[in-house]
Structure 1
Amino acid sequence: MSGRERLQKVIAQSGYTSRRKAEKLITDGKVKVNGKTVTELGIKVHPDDQIEVNGIPLEKEEPVYYLLYKPTGVISSVKDDGGRKVVTDLLPEVKERIYPVGRLDFNTSGLLLLTNDGDFAQLLMHPRHEIDKVYIAKIKGIPTKDKLKKLESGLRLRDKGEWLRIKKQRIRSVDRKKNKTILEITLNEGKNRQIRRMLDAIGHPVEKLKREQYGFLTLGHMKPGEYRELKPHEVKRLKVMALKNVK
């Protein structure tokens, strides 16, 4: 790193946390530079400056990037106050301080990215960068075409008055005997429990949900709980894709 950089950027690049969370740590008085507490976000630091976060000296880590097949029953976090299993428990050999890029619900399985690169995580999670994510949902009942079109045109949900919509959907299969449908849904946003809430709203609750694809990345032949490191060209392609999709 040559010259001075914003403090929150340096913290994010260290792998400690995302830039947004680093900003909160600063404003909360949890960060020291050369022994002095800093609470202003505009401050810039030099490579030789000594930075402490929560009393721990900051060390620069090499960026790492992983793709995990998250099983159900695991929290998309690095810790849980209730003692439940978290996604980083599934990567015990990784020594860097990685964390998930976005999240998948406790009962949702599928493709999840983890990294210690705060800028990379922020780039992919920023709402202006529309990266398609494909989900497979097993739902109760057999929805009509009109109901499915509502998912694409958008719904205002009663619980929070939030306007939600999906990019596209298609039926993969229908089991009339069991009254079940397998639905493929593509999102380019990611509101909290979006798919489950939208399908509840049209009267077809989700029984199982899996994220099958993130941009061009797929699970391939991976099994739940397995992970692999992303290849350099995959990381580069994700960054290019995110920047290309700026609204």
Structure 2
Amino acid sequence: MSLNNERLQKVIAHSGITSRRKAEQLIVEGRVKVNGKVVKTLGTKVNRNDQIEVDSVPIEKESHVYYLVYKPRTYISSVKDDKGRKVVTELVPDLDKRVYPIGRLDYNTSGLILLTNDGEFAQLLMHPRHEIDKVYVAKVKGIPSKSALTLLRKGIQSKGEVLKAKSVRILSATKQKNTAVVEVTLNEGKNRQVRRMFEEIDFPIVKLKRERYSFLDLTGLQAGDYRELTKEEVHKLKQEATQNRSEN
């Protein structure tokens, strides 16, 4: 699917004039035109160059934005939370565009997460075939042996899934406190994967942080900070994901 094509109702919703559900209703009612022609089919794909009208009024298409955020602990990787907890989108204030996280970091995990309003870009990066490297640093109870780390590289069973690290190494260990700091690189993104892997080998995680996402890191940022990605960074991420897909 081309990165230039998105569902019509999604483009209308992102323009800010209505919700996606209402946009679907407008389409079915025949109140939407694409390039001068009425479109009533839900899921119709439109190009960024297509002219879209709702009730004969052209919509202003939302430009895409891309943010790198240093998520603190105790934030939810979501746009809202029914329990009233803080959400990661709150960290980008005064934003007139609706953004959402690419993937997730759990409530007690800090570190690098990307926010965007570009759905095709998000899907491209999250697709398991595209193997984007994500580097985590974990403080664990106990000091894992070489054989334990080898298990993580080979793959370990957890709740019917095989969880596997691309690489794993001990950065430091403190015998007095019986703790270790371990770097883990993943190129998949299963739910709570790093925590589950270490639970399976009986080295529970005390603290977990995502340090890098592909070539991106947290240089110059404190917890709660954010910055906009450059056009070159966005292009490089797309290029890397597409290349990984073609090699699989």
Contact 1:164–1:198, Cα closer than 8 Å, also in 2: yes
CA contact (8 A) 2:67 2:116 kept: yes
Aligned residue number for residue 51 of structure 2: 47
State how far apart, in whole Å, the 1-side matches of 2:8 and 2:200 are: 40
Matches of residues 220-239 of structure 1 in structure 2 within 5 Å?
Answer: 220-239=219-238
CA RMSD of aligned residues (A): 2.8
Distance 1:14 1:176 in 2: 55
Q: Which runs of 5+ in 1 are unaligned?
A: 17-21, 52-56
Structure 2 counterpart SS, 1:113: strand
Q: Deviation at 1:93?
A: 2.4
Judge conservation of contact 1:134–1:185 (CA < 8 Å) in 2. yes
Q: Residues of 2 paired with 1:10 and 1:84: CA distance?
A: 29
SS at match of 2:128: coil
Instruction: Check 1:151–1:7 CA distance in 2 against 1; reply closer, same or farther (3 A cut).
Output: closer
Number of the residue aligned with 1:104: 105
Check if 1:177 corresponds to 2:176: yes
- 2:214 maps to a residue whose letter is G
Give 1:54's aligned residue.
none
Is 2:70 aligned against 1:69?
A: yes
The aligned counterpart of 2:126 is 125
Q: What is the CA-CA distance between 1:134 and the residue it aligns to?
A: 0.3
Q: Tell me the CA shift for residue 94 of structure 1.
A: 1.9
CA separation of 1:69 and 1:43: change in aligned 2, threshold 3 A: closer
C-alpha distance in structure 2 between counterparts of 1:7 and 1:38, whole Å: 16
Deviation at residue 126 of structure 1 after TM alignment: 1.0
Q: Residues 167 and 187 of structure 1 are in contact (CA less than 8 Å); yes or no, is this contact kept in structure 2?
A: yes
Q: CA deviation at 1:47?
A: 2.4
How far apart in 2 are the matches of 1:215 and 1:151?
A: 20
State the secondary structure of the residue aligned to 1:245.
Answer: helix
Structure 1 outlier segments of 4+, above 4 Å: 12-16, 28-31, 36-40, 42-46
Asked if the contact 2:9/2:43 (under 8 Å) is kept, the reply is: no
Asked whether the equivalents of residues 11 and 58 of structure 1 are also in contact (C-alpha less than 8 Å), the reply is no
Superposed CA offset, 1:53-91 (max 9, x none):
xxxx97521111110000000000011111111011111
DSSP 3-state at the match of 1:238? helix
Could you say which structure has the larger radius of gyration? 2
Q: CA deviation at 1:10?
A: 6.6
